[in-house]
């Protein structure tokens, strides 16, 4: 009978926590090549996943046995397998190695997992006759557990870790412990390796949407978009199964059952859906999977895939629809949990541990991910999506202000718009005329929706529609009428307003500096939609006016350039009124006349011969005139050398002064006051000379 052995770690292999195994001696190496039991020299997989192994040799396999340091190594374990027939291809669930659950398929039997390592070989069916000996052939153990004790292997503290493990094929039923501490089979036939790598968690979660349908239905077409309309489906993909594919393989049920069970296991794997905006002063809410069903939440888990995905039906009344509304934002998080200075640990005890019975170090807390070392912490990936209101609308440039749909009378035109529905949604548009019976009907059923939310029809001819009859457009979404509106037929749907420059002032005369309030233009609308245009005014080649005008269909409107004031000298200038964006223009002539020069105000010349006539209020009162009184015994005398001035003399003095003042001062109130004051001063001077100015 051929013997096969799997021992790990492989000789010469090193890794964290793994010592170098002693090399197989030269005699053993020579014998190991007598048979070709394995094709490749290495079978490789991710720790915690499943690995497929093929052998052409039936018989036995030894699992484990490489000697490490004296203390138990969490990468060191040993088992003995029975392979039926003349060889087979089988799967190894590496997450179950060293536990009390069978890790092998294809009829392969584990000594330790089926019978327990404390069972003697004679008490088994497949391993009866096995002996555990030293190199001298002396029996050193009666059970596999005793032999493991001789090798230095104890109960695994945690799942088998990434490393390289030997695969050995032998030719008899003796398991030998070499002097170097490494077990081997007598007369080995061939060897290979089982290499387990460390799980990696590269990449983020991905999100896509698809039209309404069953969650477990075909998800096509899938579009990368962060908005999902109520009723559509959203798929979250990229949940890497690295390191727990073996765990999933042990769980019965559909994908949702597998996910629920996985989250219940203390594997450090977590999936959450959080409501990010539940309301004012409310904390983020977590949406649980407890009440979900496979029709509302489809979890696609395939054994041969490196990741799984989940599809959520957002329709009202579903598991998710009852927990969401338009405007709600959600975050999906995928975590491999870990805490510093902690490792996944099996509970202490005797015998093989259960595979999913981690010892809890913190109450109500999942253990660290099984393949994290003590210095590794949580790794996560996330994505978000927002639930939005279902909506589909025509483009605004294809609608009148009253919401009528504009189509072309001639040629072929596309109808366009925007929608929140997923690409691939069934959309149909019908245009129905009242010219019947039977009515003319145009059906457009190949409406496409782009990833950015725009929809468009192929080019369509609407020539069958008679503008003389009313037409309605009906829009169907998944065979349900969601929009109905009137249709207007335009000669040019790209310019449905059809503005025309009808008239303008042809000649205008203004005075220099005046505004052009008398210059106006009239714009008409021959189209089917309200239109807004700009009327431009140029005078002598320069822009002097720019007016906006809005005109309803079959109406006209005038605008004046009363805000324009050209700073041009007097003269005659050509001007042009033009409708912006078109070749329509009208011309005229502008005459600017000079401003009239105002007549200067005449100032009267003062009369220097007579003083100004003073009013009683302006003329100071003269003192009473002194009268000579005869006094007895008294005689009036005068200076010997002088005589009193005559009236003519005094009048001449005052008149000359007044004449001088009035000749140099205009007749104003101020000058009148000045004249009066001068007059008083002159009279005082006459009085000092002994005369009088009284008449």
Residue-wise pLDDT for 114-131, tens only, equals 999 999 999 999 999 899
Residues 129 and 181 in one domain: yes
Q: What pLDDT does 201 receive?
A: 81
> Residue 363 belongs to what H/E stretch?
none
Stretches in the chain below the pLDDT threshold 50: 1-3, 6-33, 68-74, 614-653, 657-658, 661, 664-669, 686, 689-695
364 and 412 fall within a common domain: no
CA separation for the pair 354, 334 (Å, rounded)? 25
Judge if 30 and 104 occupy the same domain: yes
Residue 600 lies inside a defined structural domain of this protein = no
Residue 560 included in any domain: yes
- Whether the predicted model's global pTM rises above the 0.85 cut: no
The answer to whether position 633 is within a domain reads no
Q: Could you tell me if residue 667 is inside a domain?
A: yes
Return the closest-CA partner of residue 206 out of 227, 235, 231, 228.
235
292 and 402 co-located in one domain: no
Whether 412 and 459 have beta carbons less than 8 Å apart is answered as: yes
SS (H, E, C) 584-644: CEEEEEEEEECCCCCCCCCCCCCCCCCCCCCCCCCCCCCCCCCCCCCCCCCCCCCCCCCCC
CATH number of the CATH domain containing 555: 2.60.40.10
Does 397 share its domain with 383?
no
State how beta strands 88-93 and 188-197 pair: unpaired
Q: Are 39 and 54 in contact (CB under 8 A)?
A: yes
Residue 312 lies in a domain: yes
Residue linked to tokens 């004046």 = 560
What is the model's pLDDT at position 302? 80
Q: 188 and 272 share a domain?
A: no
Domain boundary among 339, 355, 388: 388
- Residue 361 confidence (pLDDT): 58
**Structure tokens belonging to residue 570:** 């007097």
- The two structure tokens encoding residue 33: 């090549």
Euclidean distance between CA atoms 693 and 687, whole angstroms: 8
Determine the structural domain holding residue 269 and report its residue range.
Answer: 206-388
Compute the distance between CA of residue 532 and CA of residue 497 in angstroms, rounded to an integer.
8
226 lies in the same domain as 127: no
Note whether residue 245 is domain-resident.
Answer: yes
Give the SS3 label for residue 385.
Answer: strand
- 237, 382: one domain: yes
In a shared domain, residues 220 and 365? yes
Domain boundary among 149, 164, 197: 197
Among 167, 197, 227, identify where a domain stops: 197
Q: What are phi and psi of 382, to 5 degrees?
A: -140, 165
3-class SS of residue 291: coil
Domain identity same for 409 and 519: no
Q: Are residues 503 and 354 in the same domain?
A: no
Q: What is the pLDDT of residue 420?
A: 97
- What tokens were used for 555? 């109406």
Q: Look at residue 495 in the predicted model and tell me its pLDDT.
A: 85
Same domain flag for 225 and 310: yes
Residue 601 inside a domain? The answer is no
In a domain, 598, yes or no: no
* The total number of structural domains that make up the chain: 5
């Amino acid at each position: 009978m051929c013997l096969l052995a799997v021992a790990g770690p492989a000789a010469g292999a090193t890794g964290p926590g793994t010592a170098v195994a002693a090399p197989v001696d030269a005699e053993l190496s020579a014998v190991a090549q007598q048979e070709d039991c394995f094709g490749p020299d290495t079978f490789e997989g991710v720790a915690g996943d499943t690995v497929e192994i093929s052998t052409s040799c039936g018989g036995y396999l030894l699992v484990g046995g490489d000697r490490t340091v004296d203390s138990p190594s969490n990468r060191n374990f040993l088992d003995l397998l029975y392979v039926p027939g003349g060889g087979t291809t089988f799967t190894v669930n590496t997450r179950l190695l060293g536990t009390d659950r069978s890790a092998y398929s294809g009829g392969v039997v584990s000594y330790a997992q089926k019978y327990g390592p404390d069972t003697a070989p004679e008490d088994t069916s497949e391993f009866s006759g096995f002996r555990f000996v030293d190199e001298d052939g002396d029996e050193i153990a009666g059970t596999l557990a005793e032999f493991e004790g001789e090798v230095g292997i104890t109960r695994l503290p945690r799942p088998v870790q990434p490393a390289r493990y030997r695969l050995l094929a032998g030719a008899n039923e003796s398991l030998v412990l070499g002097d170097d501490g490494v077990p081997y089979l007598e007369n080995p036939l061939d060897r290979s390796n089982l290499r387990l790598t460390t799980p990696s968690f590269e990449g983020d979660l991905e999100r896509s949407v698809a039209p309404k349908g069953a969650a477990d239905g075909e998800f096509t077409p899938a579009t990368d978009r962060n908005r999902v309309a109520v009723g559509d489906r959203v798929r979250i993909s990229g949940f890497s199964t690295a390191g727990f594919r073996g765990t999933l393989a042990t769980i019965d049920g559909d994908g949702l059952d597998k996910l629920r069970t996985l989250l219940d296991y203390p594997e450090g794997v977590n999936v959450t859906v959080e409501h990010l905006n539940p309301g004012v002063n409310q904390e983020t809410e977590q949406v649980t999977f407890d009440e979900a069903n496979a029709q509302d939440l489809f979890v696609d888990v395939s054994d041969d895939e490196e990741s799984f995905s989940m599809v959520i039906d957002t329709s009202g009344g579903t598991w998710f629809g009852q927990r969401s509304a338009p405007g709600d934002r959600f975050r999906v998080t995928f975590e491999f949990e870990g805490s510093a200075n902690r490792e996944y640990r099996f509970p202490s005890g005797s015998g093989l541990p259960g595979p999913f019975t981690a010892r809890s170090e913190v109450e109500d807390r999942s253990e660290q991910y099984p393949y994290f070392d003590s210095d590794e912490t949580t790794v996560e990936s996330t994505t978000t999506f927002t639930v939005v209101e279902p909506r589909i609308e025509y483009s605004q440039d294809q609608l009148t202000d009253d919401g009528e749909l504009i189509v072309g009378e001639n040629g072929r035109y596309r109808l366009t718009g925007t929608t929140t529905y997923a690409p691939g949604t069934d959309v149909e548009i019908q245009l129905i005329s009242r010219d019947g019976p039977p009515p003319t009907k145009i059906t457009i059923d190949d409406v496409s929706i782009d990833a950015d939310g725009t929809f468009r029809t192929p080019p369509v001819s609407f020539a069958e529609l008679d503008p003389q009859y009313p037409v309605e457009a009906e829009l169907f979404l998944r065979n349900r009428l969601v929009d109905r509106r009137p249709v207007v037929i335009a000669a040019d749907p790209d310019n449905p307003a059809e503005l025309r420059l009808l008239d303008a002032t042809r000649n205008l005369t203004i005075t220099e500096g005046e505004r052009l309030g008398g210059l106006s233009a009239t714009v008409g609308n021959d189209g089917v939609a309200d239109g807004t245009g700009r009327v431009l005014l140029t005078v002598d080649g320069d822009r002097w006016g720019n007016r906006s005008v809005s005109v309803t269909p079959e109406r006209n409107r005038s605008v004046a350039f009363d805000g324009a004031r050209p700073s041009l000298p007097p003269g005659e200038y050509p001007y042009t009124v033009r409708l912006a964006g078109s070749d329509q223009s009208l011309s005229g002539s502008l005459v600017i006349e000079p401003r009239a020069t105002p007549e200067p105000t005449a100032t009267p010349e003062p009369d220097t011969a007579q003083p100004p006539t003073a009013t009683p209020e302006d003329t100071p009162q003269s003192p009473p005139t002194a009268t000579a009184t005869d006094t007895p015994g008294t005689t009036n005398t005068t200076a010997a050398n002088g005589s009193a001035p005559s009236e003519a003399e005094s009048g001449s003095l005052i008149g000359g002064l007044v004449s001088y003042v009035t000749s140099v001062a205009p007749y104003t109130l101020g000058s009148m006051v000045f004249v009066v004051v001068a007059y008083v001063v002159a009279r005082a001077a006459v009085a000092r000379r002994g005369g009088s100015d009284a008449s």
